[in-house]
Structure 1
Amino acid sequence: MLPLERQKKIIDLLNVRKVLKMNELTEELGISVDTLRRDINVLANQGKIVKIYGGIKLAEPKYGEPSMDERMIDRLEEKETIARKCCEYIQDGDCIYIDSGSTTYHIAKYIKDKKKLTVITNSIPVITELMNTDIELMIIGGKIRKDEQSVVTFEYIFNFHELNVLKAFICCSGITTERGISDYNLEEATTRKKMIELSKEVFVAADSSKFGRDVTIAIAPLDKIDAIVTDNLVDRSYAAKFKKTQTKLIIADE
């Protein structure tokens, strides 16, 4: 295997397993420790990975959020677990909103057997996933963000108040108990704020990496959020913090 092929393989493995130990990599790739170290040094110098004690992990983006394609494969197992937990709160006959995001997208995969369900969304992947099902679909109108495969809109071009949403499933890029949920893009944040305002119940679906971050645009304080659904890798100190708020912290697989 050529060095470029090995380095691509290392990145592919990290996209699935997040953190890898040196002995795991030498065994997986069938190479010596010295060869592995050379590949790791190349990737680290390119800013793609970070060396940690005994192994490596993917580097966090320095500016803004990763692309939708990157997020769709990042922490995939955790996101699917969160999505399945969210589905426990969706009943036959509900009218729900599914946000554009790599975590909420997976909800669409697990609701296809629901009866008389209406899904409102601004996510093109969600529409594609549910297109050939019996679920009633509504997509909000507005501008298409091609990179995010989403539709963003404003009050003057879409009459949000005609919607009657029972439960909204919202994504975000940051969560703190002090400032609530936040995101990188103003247009996405505007749509999320409006759906939070209109929905009777609001669930935030976010993997554990979002906790402790307060990014560019504030979406809503915690008192506007009924529950946050996350994975079991979340720092357990947040359980005590959330007990002091009105927002329920739901940890999938617990």
Structure 2
Amino acid sequence: MLKMKRIQQIKEYILKNQSVSLDDLVETFDVSKNTIRRDVQKLVNEGHIQKVYGGVAANHAKLEAFQDRQIRNQAQKRLIAREAASWVKDGDVIFIDSGTTTLELIHFIHNKQVTVVTNNVDFIVQAMPYKQLQVISTGGQLERKTKSFSNYSIAEELNLYNFDKVFMASTGVSISNGVTNSSPVETTMKELVVKKGRDVFLLVDHTKFDKYAMVTYCGLDEIDYLITDDPLNTQYVNFIEQNNIKLFVATDKE
């Protein structure tokens, strides 16, 4: 087995099982313990896993403050948002999820005649000057870390809407764990929005792949459009093709 392929399979195996011993990896992949140690160290250096007593464990994506996430990879996030915004047409009813990448949509749709339903507090504030944007807040409890509204009893209200397009964010994405989120209170709303969207867009930069957070709100196969900033590996490309997902890698065209 080629080294890079083996390391990729080891990573997926650890992500799936959450934590494993080195002996388990040696037996599963039929290589020496020294080889496993080198492969594991590479994954640790890349931030995918962490060493624990007696073995290794997957790195869980943690809920960070909105301001901390906003400044990371901001240029890439804006490119992703620009590509996503190109799909928004006048007259659309859309949902914009809480997130630092989805927030960037405001820069590219503010001149369009659309109805926006959102739990994204910063989007609501930044939309104030643009009268052509009809903005509807989901309401509920203010989550300060994510600058979003959450609401356990949102189901009845969301069922009133038929979204032309929904633009979703994620803390971590993987084939085995799907599209995940660090805030359990937001999960019910996200699940409903995905089901109510005619076209579901997932906006994630390259740092979100092969990571997962506390709660899965939809499978990766439930996404219609995946927009990111870096080419994906063969495993993801094959999965995307098999599930008829449209993939777009946003680049600086100007």
Return the TM-score normalized by structure 2: 0.71
Q: 1:95 aligns to what?
A: 93
Is 1:73 the equivalent of 2:52? Answer: no
SS at match of 1:148: coil
Quick one: higher RCO (CA 8 Å, sep 6+), 1 or 2?
Answer: 2
* C-alpha distance in 2 between matches for 1:162 and 1:219: 20
The alignment's C-alpha RMSD in Å is: 2.4
1:213 alignment partner AA = K
* C-alpha distance in 2 between matches for 1:177 and 1:156: 28
Over 3 Å counting, the alpha-carbon distance change for 1:157 and 1:205 in structure 2 is closer
Map of 1:14-29 to 2, 5 A cutoff?
A: none
Over 3 Å counting, the alpha-carbon distance change for 1:221 and 1:110 in structure 2 is same
Q: Which runs of 4+ in 1 moved over 6 A?
A: none
How far apart are 1:102 and its partner, in Å? 0.4
2:165 alignment partner AA = K
Asked if the contact 1:140/1:158 (under 8 Å) is kept, the reply is no
* C-alpha distance in 1 between matches for 2:234 and 2:185: 32
The answer for unaligned runs of 5 or more in structure 1 is: 1-51, 53-60
Map of 1:1-254 to 2, 5 A cutoff?
A: 64-114=62-112, 116-133=113-130, 134-155=132-153, 159-232=157-230, 234-235=232-233, 238-253=236-251
Corresponding pairs, count: 196
Return the TM-score normalized by structure 1: 0.71
Deviations 1:171-204 (A, max 9, x none): 0111112332111110122221111111111101
How far apart are 1:251 and its partner, in Å? 1.1
Q: Percent identity?
A: 25
How far apart are 1:236 and its partner, in Å? 5.9
The answer for unaligned runs of 5 or more in structure 2 is: 1-44, 46-58
Over 3 Å counting, the alpha-carbon distance change for 1:155 and 1:207 in structure 2 is same
Deviations 1:116-151 (A, max 9, x none): 211110011001111111211100121111221100
How far apart are 1:85 and its partner, in Å? 0.4
